[in-house]
Structure 1
Amino acid sequence: MESRTIALIGAGGKMGCRIADNLNKGSHRTRYVEIGERGVARLAERGLATTAQNEAVASADIVILAVPDVAIGRISAGVVPQMRSGAMLIVLDPAAAYLDQLPMRNDVTYFVTHPCHPPVFNNETTSEAKRDLFGGVAAKQAIVCALIQGPEADYEAGERIAREMYAPVMRTHRITVEQMAVLEPAMAETVGAMMATVLGEAMEEAVRRGVPYEAAKDFMLGHINIELAIVFEKVNPFSDACLVAIEYGRKAMIKEGWRELFQPESIREQIDIMLHPEKLQALKTEG
C-alpha cells in the first residue's frame, strides 16, 4: 500500500489514541495534533510527539478528525482551509456531514467511516479479543464507509485507511451518508441504546423488588443472549408463551408509530439535538 502523510487531529483522545496505535503499525507518516494536556501526556506515554495543526495539515495527504461529534463542524471550519488541494478529510461520524456542517470546498475529498464494533456472536478465542468489546485492538469488527464528495478513485484510498484505523476489520460495507445516519443515531442509538438502558432498568427493578443482584444479572444477560440469537441468528423460534409476553410488553411499552424515527426529518432532528444537547430540554418541555 502506498505510504501517505496523515494528520491526526485529536490524537490524544480516547479514539485518537486507538487510531494512533493502529496507524503506528503501518508505513504512513503520521503527525499528531493535540492541544489538551492529558492528550499530550497520553501520546508521550506512547513515545509520540505533537505537531502544530497548521504544519501537520498543510503537508497531509489525509486529515483525520478524531474529535467529538459536537466539535466536528467547528474544528473542520478551521482545518479544511489549511488543507492542500486534492487532500482527503476523514470524519468518524456522519452527523456533521448529514447536517451540511462541513465547509464548502470542492477540491478536497470528504470521507466518513464508522466502526460497527465486534458483534455479539463471534468466533474470538483469545482472552484479549474477548475483552476487546469496543474493537480496534484485537477483536474483529465490520466497518461502514461513505464517500461524501471527491473522485470515485478516492473511495478505495479512504477505505484502506479506515481498515487500518479500525483493525482488525473483517468486512467493509460501502453505504451513503444518509444510510449511515439511519444506522446511527436512529437504529443503533435512538432505538438500540435506549432499549439497552431499559433492559438495565428492568434488571434494577427486579433487584429493587428483592431478587439478588447477581441472580438478576445472570438471568438477564443469559436471556438477552438467547433472545438476540433467536431474532438475529434464527436459532429457534420463541415459545408460544414468550410470544404472548412479547405482545403484552409491546402494548404496554412501545408507542404506535415509533418507526417514524427513521423518517429523514426525524433523523435530522435527532442529529440536531445530539449536536445541540440544550435543545433536548425544550423538547421535553413541549412533550
Structure 2
Amino acid sequence: MTKIALLGAGGKMGVRLATNIVRSNYELIPVEVSDEGRQRLHDALGLTCSSLDTALAAADVVILAIPDRSIGKVAHEIINKVKSGTAIIMLDAAAPHAGELPERADISYFVTHPCHPPVFNDETTPDAKADFFGGTSAKQHIVCALMQGPDEHYTLCEAIARVFYGPVMRSHRCTVEHIAIMEPALSETVAITLCLAIKEATDEAVRRGVPEQAATDFVLGHIAIGLSIAFGVNPGGKFSDGALHAIALAKPEIFRDGWLERIFNPAAVKQSVIDICNPKAA
C-alpha cells in the first residue's frame, strides 16, 4: 500500500484532501504543526497526526498542503529526510516555477492543481450545485505536471491527485510553466480581476438607481450567454450586431494596447510567482 505523508493536514485544504484520501486504498500519514489544525483534523475525521520525521521516514509520497510562501522553506527542511525515490506533490506551480525547490536528483517533484467545477456542467444534486470549489461533490478537471522524476511517478501521482481532487473528469498533462501561466496569469491576473470588475460595474449600475437584484440577475444571465458564445459551448449562438458594436467601442476604453503580452510574457509570469512566494518583496 502506498504511504502518503500529508503535510498541513489540519489546514482547510489539508482536511479536504485527507477526507478523500482516507476513503481510498492509500495509507494516509497526516502531519500538522498547529494545535488548532490537529484539533480540526481530529474533529473532522478522527485522525491523530504523526511527527514529521516519522511520517517522512515511512512515506512513498509527500504532499505539501501548505501556503506558497512556505513551500521553499519546508522543502529545504525535509529534502534530506525523505527516502530515495520519494515523490513530492505540490498543489500549485508558484514555488516550483519561482525556483524555490532544493535540488536532489533521486526524488520526484510533481505539481497538480484543480480547475474547479466548470461554469457549464451537468450537476443536479443540491450538494454538487453548491460545491463551487470541487473535491467534495461536484465533478472537476485537473492539471498535472512532472517537474522531475521517472514517468511512472507521473502515473502514480496523477492517480493520487484524482483521488484527493475527486470526482475528477479530465486530467491534463502540462508543464510546470503551463500551470504557472494558467495560475496566476490566466485565472487570477485576468479572469478573477475581470470578475471583480464586473461586480464593480454592477455596483455602479445600482448606485445609478438600478434595483440591486435586477442588476445582479441581468448581468449574471448575460455572463452565461457571453461565455457560452465566446467559448463555443453554444455553437449556434452569436453576438448581436448591437453587442459587437458595443464591444468594439468598449475594448480600447477598458484595455490598454499590449495588455496580453505584458501579462503573459514569461518574465512577467516568473515575477508574479516570485512575488507570491515572497510577499514582502512584492
TM range, smaller chain: over 0.9
Cα separation, 2, equivalents of 1:255 and 1:279: 26
| Equivalent runs, 1:269-284 vs 2, <5 Å | 269-280=271-282
1:283 alignment partner in structure 2: none
1:250 alignment partner in structure 2: 251
**Structure 1 residues 112-161: Cα deviation after superposition (integer angstroms, max 9, x where no partner):** 00000000001111111111110000111010000010111211001101
Cα separation, 1, equivalents of 2:247 and 2:278: 35
| Equivalent runs, 1:60-139 vs 2, <5 Å | 60-139=59-138
2:260 alignment partner in structure 1: 259
1:200 alignment partner in structure 2: 199
Deviation of the 1:276 alpha carbon: 2.5
Cα separation, 2, equivalents of 1:220 and 1:36: 43
In structure 1, runs of 5+ residues without a counterpart are 281-287
Tell me if the contact between 2:95 and 2:274 (Cα under 8 Å) persists in the aligned partners.
Answer: no
Q: Which structure would you say has the larger RCO, counting Cα contacts within 8 Å and 6 or more residues apart?
A: 2
Cα separation, 1, equivalents of 2:277 and 2:207: 35
In structure 2, runs of 5+ residues without a counterpart are none
| DSSP-derived class of the 2:79 partner | helix
1:14 alignment partner in structure 2: 12
4+ runs deviating over 4 angstroms: none
- In the superposition, the TM-score normalised over structure 2's length comes to 0.96
**Structure 1 residues 78-102: Cα deviation after superposition (integer angstroms, max 9, x where no partner):** 1222110001100000111111111
Q: Say how many residue pairs are matched.
A: 278
- In the superposition, the TM-score normalised over structure 1's length comes to 0.94
Deviation of the 1:277 alpha carbon: 2.7
Deviation of the 1:249 alpha carbon: 1.6
Cα separation, 2, equivalents of 1:256 and 1:278: 30
Cα separation, 2, equivalents of 1:132 and 1:140: 9
Deviation of the 1:36 alpha carbon: 1.6
Deviation of the 1:39 alpha carbon: 1.1
2:31 alignment partner in structure 1: 33
- Across the aligned residues of Structure 1 and Structure 2, the Cα RMSD in angstroms comes to 1.0
Cα separation, 2, equivalents of 1:250 and 1:145: 34
**Structure 1 residues 230-275: Cα deviation after superposition (integer angstroms, max 9, x where no partner):** 1111441100100111122211110110111111111011112222
Cα separation, 2, equivalents of 1:87 and 1:272: 26
